[in-house]
Amino acid sequence: MPTKPRSLSKGKEVRLVVLLECDGVTKRFGGLEALKSVSFGVGEKEIVGLVGPNGAGKSTLVNIINGVVRCDSGSIRLFGRDITGMGPEEICRMGVGRTFQMAQAFPGMSVLENAMIGALFGSKGHISARDARRKAMEALESVGLSDRARELAGRLTTAELKRLDLARALAAEPKLLLLDEVATGLSPRERSEISNLLRGVREMGASILMVEHVMKVVMGLSDRVVVLNHGEKIAEGAPSEVVNHGQVISAYLGERYAKGGRRC
């Protein structure tokens, strides 16, 4: 179904086939309104960056899309189907994979067995252990962990755990990949490798919604950027437009990102 994502430039319209639609999503935790009527979409084969200060509501929004947390009002649609209130296992089997801000694994299981969980959990029907192993090995290969497949996951470094978290999500063969700070804490070389990997994921047909604080990664990868502040969407548009938006600079980026003065 075509849509017109909001642009910061007057008169600019970009039509996309919508994969994910968030409409008026609101979430309260006691007296705190973590999200206030947030609306945006993600198109097919599109990479959308979701940025904002700490506590802006980014991870909460990802958790709602993923079904881990339920919103108080608003709706989430995937492929035009309302998935509001569905559990994470149902949403995963519809083609949504995710990583977590704090990457974890089952330390007593091998790296391969950890990745197989994604293939098994994300399967729409019966899948054999052989097929799950094949998908897991392909995912490990893509993130550069195939040579560690037989090792215990408990021996991995923090950076390697992030790669394993991504491999587990990719083993489910998602159409929509939700990433929560996948590049945070990585070295510049590792960030470059992850960026190249995600471009490849998009080329294979998946869409990506990424929460990230490393602005060089966000601006280098994203087709569009959505900015949250105190639970509200304050801007949406191309990276070059967002970084020069006055409200975004004031709330999050700072003057060093404005008018050609960006440094990462």
Domains of the chain: 1-6+15-95+174-264 (3.40.50.300), 102-173 (no CATH)
Residues 17, 1 contacting (CB under 8 angstroms): yes
Confidence of residue 4 (pLDDT cuts 50, 70, 90): very low
Alpha carbons 139 and 158: distance in angstroms, whole number: 18
CA distance 235 to 227: 5
**7 has a pLDDT exceeding 60:** no
Q: What is the pLDDT of residues 46-93, one digit of tens each?
A: 999 999 998 999 999 999 999 999 999 999 999 999 999 999 989 999
pLDDT digits (tens, 9 = 90+) for 200-219: 999 989 999 999 988 889 99
Round the average pLDDT of the chain to a whole number and report it.
88
The residue to which tokens 């079904």 are assigned:
67
- Return the minimum-mean-pLDDT range out of 129-133, 164-168, 235-239, 255-259: 255-259
At 264, the pLDDT band (50, 70, 90 cuts) reads very low
Q: Is the pLDDT of residue 13 over 70?
A: no
pTM (2 d.p.) = 0.87
pLDDT at 227: 94
Is the pLDDT assigned to residue 135 strictly greater than 60? yes
